[in-house]
């Protein structure tokens, strides 16, 4: 049996803004940032108003706020009529129909026992004593022979 070793895909990892040696999976970034901030209390990092995982120095924050990729989603939330929609809105199409799926169909109820008695269905009696099963099989043979089925 050969062992497969899976190397981590470092392209999917993010770099910690506090320590560039730290590589973090995107799903664990928020948890890591809260823990790592305790280890670097002297670092003056400011959180982005659009995404709390974006941390930058005070000097770089103004530039980041202008270029932040999450800014457009916030602006769409605040001013939905001012910006074009992210996805085209569906056209309200109403189709009139005469069908009523809640109405009961005009069909009689189905009784499987009466159907099997009329049609030629091979049946097997369950739960009957051996003598009653023998009698049932004999009656079924007679019924099939009378109607020329076998």
Q: Could you tell me which residue, 2 or 127, shows the higher pLDDT? A: 127
Write down the pTM of the prediction.
0.43
Give the domain ranges of the chain. 14-78, 112-146
pLDDT band at residue 149, thresholds of 50, 70 and 90? low
Residue 146, pLDDT > 90, answer: no
Please say whether the beta carbons of 68 and 54 come within 8 A: yes
| Predicted confidence (pLDDT) per residue in 53-87, tens digit | 888 888 888 888 888 888 877 776 777 666 555 67
The number of beta carbons lying within 10 Å of the beta carbon of residue 54 is 19
- What pLDDT was estimated at residue 82? 64
Q: What is the dihedral of CA 133, 134, 139, 142, to 10 degrees?
A: 140
Residue 119, pLDDT > 80, answer: yes
- DSSP calls for the chain: -PPP-PPP-TTS-EE-SS-TT-EE-GGGHHHHHHHHHHH-TT--EEE-SS-TT-EEEHHHHHHHHHH-TTHHHHHHHH-TTTS--SSPPPP---------TTSPPS-PPP-HHHHHHHTT------S--HHHHHHHHHHHHHHHHHTT--
Burial 3-23 (b: 16+ CB within 10 A, else e): eeeeeeeeeeeeebbbeeeee
């Amino acid at each position: 049996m050969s062992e497969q070793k899976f190397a981590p895909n470092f392209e999917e990892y993010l770099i910690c803004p506090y320590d560039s040696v730290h590589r973090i999976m995107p799903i664990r970034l928020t948890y890591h940032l809260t823990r790592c901030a305790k280890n670097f209390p002297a670092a003056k990092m400011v959180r982005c108003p659009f995404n709390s995982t974006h941390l930058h120095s005070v000097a770089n924050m103004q530039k980041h706020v202008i270029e932040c990729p999450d800014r457009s989603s916030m602006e769409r939330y605040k001013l939905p009529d001012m910006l074009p929609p992210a996805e085209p809105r569906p056209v309200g199409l109403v189709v009139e129909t005469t069908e009523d799926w809640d109405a009961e169909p005009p069909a009689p109820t189905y009784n499987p026992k009466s159907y099997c008695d009329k049609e030629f269905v091979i049946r097997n009696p369950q739960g009957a004593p051996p003598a009653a099963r023998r009698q049932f099989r004999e009656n079924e043979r007679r019924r099939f022979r009378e109607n020329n089925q076998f």
